Every structure is written in structure tokens, then in C-alpha cells.
Structure 1
Amino acid sequence: MFNVSDGVPAGGEPVAVTFAAVFVALFVAHQVGDHWIQTQHQASHKGDAGWSGRWACVKHVLTYCATAMVSLAGLAAVTGWCPDGVPAVVGMAVSGVSHFVIDRRWPLRWLADRLGKCPDWLERGGGLYALDQSAHIGFLFIAALVMAS
């Protein structure tokens, strides 16, 4: 993140520009990490009950966060963006912890059921995937806000 002195970012870019760039970097990393880097075993078992399911989810979240860090490092290398330590760590924690909770599947299904989402849409109409992805993107937005603060 740009260091701010007297309300003016050190790099000359407004916080909104930093937020936008960080959000795009996190969104791209999300697409790559969730759809390309994640192994089939992780995808198939991260929602399973017990330690084996939790472990599959942890491994996915670790590779997902590593992908995000590579994306953010690329952003920094090309633009000169210099992330502040605490906001960067907190933002990555928001992304990683929320990703784990969402990908365990049962919390998302529990919430969908409480909100009255149609079971047919959830199971056969792509609803669970849509809710999963929209929840991830919402938390990426929050993570980018934290990192740009």
C-alpha cells in the first residue's frame, strides 16, 4: 500500500486507485487459484466431514493464498505499489479465512437454506457455485479495502 503523509499517498495515487488495482489482482488470483491451481482431490474433498476434509481445504487455501501473493507481487513489481505490512497481512487473513469457511460448504448451504434458496436451484441449477463465487468475491472486496487502507 502507498504510505500516506498529510493525506497524500507517497506514490501519488489516490487510495481508490490502490484499492482498484489490488482488487483486480486478488480477483485474477482467485480465478486462477480456485479453477486452475486447486487440485481435483482438493475440490472433491474440501467439504468432507472430519479431518481429511479440513486438511483438503487447508491445502487448497494455502495454494490459493500463495497464488494471491504471486499476483500481488506482480502488481508491486510492475506498478511500484508497496504494501504496508499490517494491512497486507490482515487483508490476506480475511481472504484466506473466509475462503476456508466458504469452501467447507456446510456454512454456505446452511445460510442458503435459512434464506429460502430453492433446493433445486442450489443442487442442479448452479446455485451453490454461484453463491460460493459471489461470497468469495465479496470477501475479496473487503480484503482489497483493508489492503488499500
Structure 2
Amino acid sequence: MMHTSIDSAAGRAARYAALLGLMRAGANFGDHITQSGRDAVLKAATDAAPVTYKGEQYGTRAGRAACLRHSLTYTATQAAVIGVGARALGVRLPAGRLLAALAVTGASHYLIDRREPLRRACDAIGKGEFYRHNSGGINGSYLMDQAVHHLIEAVACLIPAAD
């Protein structure tokens, strides 16, 4: 059994809290501000469910490219916010572990934002009806998307927060 001093446990907890706050802020900005309008519209396009944007139809290839661009700018935004915030707070984060956490959030963001994998997962766990709900100001697919992003970020932040 490994014993940890209260100071090092408190330090890890503080690192985790700072990192989670910064990562979430970067994610929210990257998802809603950094993302281009074009990528937001096209990122889930498939040949089976094409998307029309400015009078032209787009399928899987354009959807994958848009989602990749968005995921890269999203992850870069997270990295920038974390870098500036950690420096301002004097929080040292191991570069390799931080890159691993960002890789987890970036790759998972791509999968979730392609929409079909998340829809299938929601169907599999009995949440398909809520995923498809879109009335009364409630957009189930968006809420499920955000819930999964938040959970993955919370887990990914454990990687660089550890000693």
C-alpha cells in the first residue's frame, strides 16, 4: 500500500482542480467560439445523411474533414487556455502527461462530434429517446454530447494531475 502525505495529496487535488477548470473553459470556448460556422454545420455529415451548406450538399468526406478541423482547433484552444492559466497560477504540469490528456479529449471529441457513435451509444444504454428529444428548449443530442465531453475531460485531467 502506497502512503501519501497530506501535502502531496492536496497538491495533486489542487493541480487537478486548476487543470479541470482550465480545460473546461478552453473546451467551452473551443466548442462554441473557436469552431467555424461551416465546421459546426458539416462535422456530422455522412453520405447516408448529407448536409446542405450554402446551397451545396456535403457527405462523409467533408464531414470527417470538418470534424477533424474542429477537433484540432478545440484541442489547441484547450492547450492555450491551460498553458496560460497554469503559468499564471504557477502550476507545473508534466508536458507528456498533459499532451496525453489533450490527445484523449481531442480524439474523443472527434468521435462524439461525428454524432453517429454517440447516437448509437445512447441507443445501446436506453437513452436514445432523450438523445433525439428536441423541443421545449431541450436539445437532447447537444446535452448528451456535452455530458460525455465533461466526463471525458474530468477523467483526462487525472493524467497530468498525478505525481
- Band the TM-score falls in, shorter-chain normalisation: 0.7 to 0.9
Q: Look up the equivalent residue of 1:141 and give its one-letter code.
A: A
Aligned with 2:15 (options 1, 15, 18): 18
* Structure 1 outlier segments of 4+, above 3 Å: 118-121
Aligned with 1:78 (options 59, 66, 88): 88
Q: Distance in 2 between matches of 1:92 and 1:44?
A: 24
Structure-1 residue corresponding to 2:118: 108
Structure with the greater alpha carbon radius of gyration: 2
- Specify which structure has the bigger relative contact order, considering alpha-carbon pairs within 8 angstroms and separated by 6 or more residues: 1
Q: Look up the equivalent residue of 1:101 and give its one-letter code.
A: L
Q: What TM-score, normalized by structure 2, do the two folds share?
A: 0.80
Say whether the 8 Å CA contact 1:94–1:142 is kept in structure 2.
no
Matches within 5 A, 1:1-149: 14-49=11-46, 50-119=60-129, 122-124=132-134, 125-149=138-162
State how many pairs are aligned.
144
Deviates more, 1:80-89 or 1:60-69: 80-89
Q: Percent identity?
A: 31
Structure-2 residue corresponding to 1:3: none
Q: Distance in 1 between matches of 2:30 and 2:112?
A: 15
CA apart distance, 1:117: 2.5
Q: What TM-score, normalized by structure 1, do the two folds share?
A: 0.87
Q: If each structure's helix is expressed as a fraction of its own residues, which one has the higher value?
A: 1
CA offset digits 1:17-55 (Å, max 9, x no partner): 000000000000111111111111111111112221110
Structure-1 residue corresponding to 2:53: none
For structure 1, the residue ranges without an aligned partner over 5 or more in a row are 1-6
Say whether the 8 Å CA contact 2:119–2:128 is kept in structure 1.
no
SS of residue paired to 1:14: helix
